[in-house]
A and B are shown apart, each in its own frame.
Chain A
Amino acid sequence: MQAKRTIFPNKILPYMLLVPQLAVTIAFFIWPALQALKSSFEREDPFGFSTTFVWFENYRRLFVDPSYLNALGKTAIFAFSVTLLSMTLSLILAVAVNRVLRTNRLYTTLLVWPYAVAPVVVGILWWFMFNPTIGIAPYLLRGIGISWNHRVDGTDAMILVIIAASWKQISYNFLFFVAGLQSVPNSLIEAAAIDGAGPFKRFWTIVFPLLSPTTFFLLIVNINYAMFDTFGLIDATTNGGPNQATNILVYKVYADGFLGLNIGSSSAQSVVLMIIVIALTAIQFRYVERRVQY
């Protein structure tokens, strides 16, 4: 791994510099992760007095548990939909903002600030808009004959959280797409124009293919976001309901562990999530390392 060619000769100092980070990391990251791993192989008796080692029993139970499988499915639907919706909208906005020269800055400022809004606040905002009693959206929907109640209808609930989660990510994707679009050399666009390609053709045959590193990167980040950063959003809107309709994996870990006090199952779920994160991170790093060089 790279280090600088010239280094300082001190032998003790580097360790001292690293102590704070390593201490916190080991105490609050590694040790708990190992604990989770250990708990996932155990089962507490109903009174919490003793634990028995049960090998992969917790895992086995997980994967035959319909509510867990449901959570897996819901997470997949949620992650896929949020990623698709958010990335498409932000790509369109990024392409648009790239075409306007003078008002560029203004539009950008107006579009990036949602990044700073906490997911849980996003949840409350959209919950307010879709509130069956006083929300503006159900009001409008009733006007065209659709009745909306996400407290009762599972699909409505899923739609609500998908929209809310996508809304928040628009600004992040937008920023990265804009950066990606700007990294396409202008001379290529000009050459394509001289070669007879109109704006749409230029986008699909030149710009979009060259955008693929950014697109792929955002794909991974969005999936990561949908799976892990949306806890607050779910907690503020549907609490995983109604009836498990929006009980995504990260919420289930909390619900089963903290509310249901099923440590073994929750730990096993945590470990599964860890594996998923590791896989996503591995893909991200391997791809970013091999960033396609044209």
Chain B
Amino acid sequence: MASIDIAGVKKVYAGGVTAIHSLDLAIPDGELVVLVGPSGCGKSTLLRMIAGLEAITEGTIAIDGTVVNTREPAERDIAMVFQNYALYPHMTVRGNLEYGLKNRGTPRDEIDRRVAEAARILEIEPFLDRRPRQLSGGQRQRVAMGRAIVRQPKAFLFDEPLSNLDAKLRGQMRIEIKRLQRNLATTSVYVTHDQLEAMTLADRLVVMNAGRIEQVGAPLALYERPETLFVAGFIGSPPMNLIDIGYLRDKGALALPEGTDLVGIRPDTIHLAPPEAPHVTLTATVELYEPIGGETHLHMRLADSGQLIIAAVPARTATREGAQVSLHVGLADLHPFNKETGRRTD
């Protein structure tokens, strides 16, 4: 259990490519922080620098108060769960779990105790004497987590551990990981490109893009108040609609800050019936009626501009493709942005 402090960390590769521009992030003890972003944003690189698998070009990373820049992975007291599990194929599950403890000279009875405990928590007791190749993907993932747990490290590092699993399994494992982390209260850094996974797992969410941090905060905070255009478009599914402010000027009594030229509207804040609160009104033609089940996605073209927008409306909303509809969005649900800075203007 420990805090992780990342200060001014920069990563430049040998060819001159800057993967990470000066980053600062403070992760308090016991928190599950999720690093999320598109491929190549640097989230895995950052994780690997915490682990000691990549060198730090500038800045410091401290685990539990001690700067670990030059420490080998083994000396940092961290455990990692890899995307492809990285289980030792020539050892049994038990062998995989014991390996780290044996290397550190842990006494035999302590090893047995910890292995039994981890196997119990993760429900892998029946597999202890099997080889990894005899296990399914989900089982292997649990063994990988078991390997991390028995070490009782200062921090867990997860590198997209669920990417190789099918959707249903992913959902189940997500819950297990969250529950596990809560129980063990170990500081955890979790990397994923899946924004749904990020939203449901994180105590705090770190959205990264092109080697920089876009925004840090609780998942809902990022959802309800994205600070940058990138976060606005990345978090939330279906993605936020972005409409030019010129189009909206005559659609309602706007009172948006100076510098706003782009307005974001979340699909779930678009209503077909006019609300009580002050709102803007738009006209659009329905192009596609997508019944998802619990809700319906309407793909529509705005009148005059022809811009395609998406609304998430209640499941059995009465409309059909080709119909012209009136849309209403509360003024409070408008997210103002400046295109040039990419940032929120309020």
Q: Which residues of A contact B (CB under 8 A)?
A: 185, 187-188, 190-198, 201, 205-206, 209-210, 293-294
Asked if residues A194 and B133 are in contact (CB atoms below 8 Å), the reply is no
Of B53, B83, B103, B133, the contact of A195 (CB 8 Å cutoff):
B103
Chain A residues near B90: list those with CB within 8 A.
209-210, 294
Contact A190 B100 (CB under 8 A): no
Asked if B123 CB lies within 8 Å of chain A CBs, one says: no
Contact with A along B79-110 (1 / 0, CB 8 A): 11011101111100000000110011000000
Residues of A within 8 A of B176 (CB): none
CB closest chain-B residue, reference A210:
B90
Contact A195 B99 (CB under 8 A): yes
| Chain B residues, CB < 8 A from A195 | 74, 99-100, 103, 147, 151
Q: Is B73 an interface residue (CB 8 A)?
A: yes
Identify 15 residue pairs between A and B in the complex whose beta-carbon atoms are under 8 Å apart, listed by A's number.
A185-B86, A188-B86, A190-B86, A191-B88, A193-B74, A194-B51, A194-B80, A195-B100, A195-B103, A196-B100, A197-B103, A201-B103, A210-B89, A294-B89, A294-B133
Report B-chain residues with C-beta under 8 Å of the C-beta of A192. 88, 99
Contact of A193 among B72, B83, B147 (CB under 8 A): B72
Chain B residues, Cβ within 8 Å of A201: 103
Closest to B131 in A: A294
Residue on A nearest B85 in the bound complex, by CB: A187
In angstroms, Cα B90 to Cα A210, docked, is 7
Determine the residue in chain A with the shortest Cβ distance to B78: A194
Q: How far is A143 from B74 in the complex, measured between Cα atoms in Å? A: 49
Contact B73 A194 (CB under 8 A): yes
B86 touches A187 (CB 8 A): yes
| B109 shortest CB reach to chain A, Å | 19
Q: Shortest CB–CB separation between residue A292 and chain B, in angstroms?
A: 9
Residues of B contacting A206 in the complex (Cβ-Cβ under 8 angstroms): 88
The interface on chain B, measured as residues whose beta carbon lies within 8 A of the other chain's beta carbons, has a size of: 25
* Least CB distance, B139 to chain A, in whole angstroms: 16
Q: Are A190 and B133 CB-contacts (below 8 A) given A196-B104, A294-B90?
A: no
Q: How many contacts A-B (CB < 8 Å)?
A: 61
Report whether B53 and A190 are in contact in the complex, using a CB–CB cutoff of 8 Å.
yes
Residue of B nearest to A293 (CB): B133
Chain B residue numbers with a CB within 8 Å of A194 are 51-53, 73-74, 78-80, 100
Closest Cβ–Cβ distance, residue A104 to chain B (whole Å) = 14
Instruction: Indicate the member of A195, A205, A209, A294 with the most B CB atoms within 10 Å.
Output: A195
Chain A residue at minimum C-beta to C-beta distance from B103:
A196
Complex: A194 Cα to B83 Cα, angstroms = 15
In Å, the complex CA distance between A188 and B79 comes to 13
Tell whether, in the assembled complex, residue B80 and residue A191 are in contact, meaning their CB atoms are under 8 Å apart: yes
Contacts of B78 in A (CB 8 A): 194
Least CB distance from A206 to B in Å reads 6
Nearest-CB distance from A188 to chain B (Å)?
Answer: 5
CB distance from B328 to the nearest CB of A (A): 52
User: Once the chains are docked, how many angstroms separate the CA of A193 from the CA of B52?
Assistant: 10
Q: Per-residue CB proximity of B35-74 to A under 8 Å, as 1/0?
A: 0000000000000000111000000000000000000111
What's the Cα separation between A193 and B132 when bound, in Å? 19
Q: How far is the CA of A293 from the CA of B134 in the complex (A)?
A: 11
Residues of A close to B88: CB separation below 8 A: 188, 191-192, 206
The answer to whether B74 touches A196, judged by C-beta atoms less than 8 angstroms apart, is yes
Complex interface: chain B residues within 8 A of A191 (CB): 80, 82, 86-88, 147
Contacts of B147 in A (CB 8 A): 191, 195
Cα A49 to Cα B104 with chains together (Å): 79
**Which of A185, A196, A206 has the most CB atoms of chain B within a 10 A radius of its CB?**
A196
Which of the listed residues B72, B74, B84 has the most CB atoms from chain A within 10 Å of its own CB? B74
Which residues of chain A are within 8 angstroms of B104 by Cβ–Cβ distance?
196
**In the complex, what residues of A have CB within 8 A of residue B82's CB?**
187, 190-191
Given contacts A192-B99, A196-B103, whether A185 and B84 have CB atoms under 8 Å apart is: yes
Contacts of B99 in A (CB 8 A): 192, 195, 197, 205
Contact B84 A193 (CB under 8 A): no
Q: Enumerate chain A residues within 8 angstroms of B52, measured Cβ to Cβ.
A: 193-194
18 additional A-B residue pairs with CB within 8 Å, beyond A190-B53, A194-B80: A185-B84, A187-B82, A190-B80, A190-B82, A191-B147, A193-B72, A194-B51, A194-B73, A194-B79, A194-B100, A196-B100, A197-B74, A201-B103, A205-B99, A206-B88, A209-B90, A210-B90, A294-B89
In chain B, residues 227-249, which have Cβ atoms closer than 8 Å to a Cβ of chain A? none
Query: In the assembly, what is the distance between CA of A66 and CA of B54, in Å?
Result: 63
Nearest B-chain residue to A197, judged by Cβ: B103
- Chain B residues whose C-beta falls within 8 Å of the C-beta of A293 in the assembled complex: 133
Q: In angstroms, how far is the closest chain A Cβ from the Cβ of B102?
A: 9
Instruction: List chain B residues, Cβ under 8 A from A193.
Output: 52-53, 72-74
CA distance A206 to B99 in the complex (A): 10
Shortest 6 CB-CB contacts between residues of A and residues of B: A294-B89, A195-B100, A196-B103, A187-B86, A191-B86, A196-B74
Identify the closest chain A residue to B83 (Cβ).
A187
Residue numbers in B under 8 Å from A294 (CB-CB)? 89-90, 132-133
- Closest CB in chain B relative to A183 CB, distance in Å: 12
**Min CB distance, B225 to chain A, in Å?**
37
Q: How many angstroms from the CA of A293 to the CA of B132 in the assembled complex?
A: 11
